């Protein structure tokens, strides 16, 4: 993945780079760990990587920005820490999202991300569960995350 140079004036959401991965039909992911490393050009080069449960997308900057209840982990890079390791503790999900963003106005960066996971066969009940909370079709992607919680009235 590639993170573009950070533009503080950009309100289109292009500061974030997203990558989605969905498990094959009848299976789910058991996420173990995320390992990432970046290219580096100078001592002020910084950026971040985040992994989310489900199909996440926001025009806001990933951090600081809006709260995400689907965030599984995030890590920052700089000149002394060009690698990231996020333990995911065998988290089960049907799909996950990787998000990358540069934190500097000088350089973008390229990142290599490896997500270690197992594919597990789903039961009939789990298949129905994920069909509701993480549907396959794009028109339903944000349906359950944008609806109001009855307790928030």
Rounded to two decimals, what is the model's pTM? 0.81
Residue 113: which of 95, 96, 100, 101 has the closest Cα?
A: 100
Q: How many domains are there within the chain? A: 1
pLDDT by residue (tens digit) across 17-68?
A: 899 999 999 999 999 999 999 877 666 668 889 999 988 776 666 755 556 7
| CATH number, position 76 | 2.60.120
Range of the domain at 18: 2-152
């Amino acid at each position: 993945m590639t993170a573009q140079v950070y533009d503080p004036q950009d309100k289109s959401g292009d500061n974030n780079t997203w990558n989605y991965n969905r498990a094959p039909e009848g299976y789910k992911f058991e996420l173990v760990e995320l390992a990432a490393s970046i290219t580096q050009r100078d001592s002020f080069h910084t950026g971040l990587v985040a992994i989310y449960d489900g199909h996440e997308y926001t025009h806001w900057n990933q951090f600081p920005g809006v709260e995400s209840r689907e965030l599984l982990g995030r890590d920052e890079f700089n000149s002394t820490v060009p690698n990231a390791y996020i333990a995911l503790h065998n988290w089960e999900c049907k799909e996950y999202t990787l998000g990358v963003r540069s934190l500097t106005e000088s350089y973008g960066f390229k990142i290599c991300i490896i997500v270690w996971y197992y594919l597990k066969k789903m039961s009939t009940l789990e298949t129905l569960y994920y069909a509701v909370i993480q549907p396959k079709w794009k028109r339903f992607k944000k349906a359950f995350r944008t609806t109001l919680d009855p307790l928030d009235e």
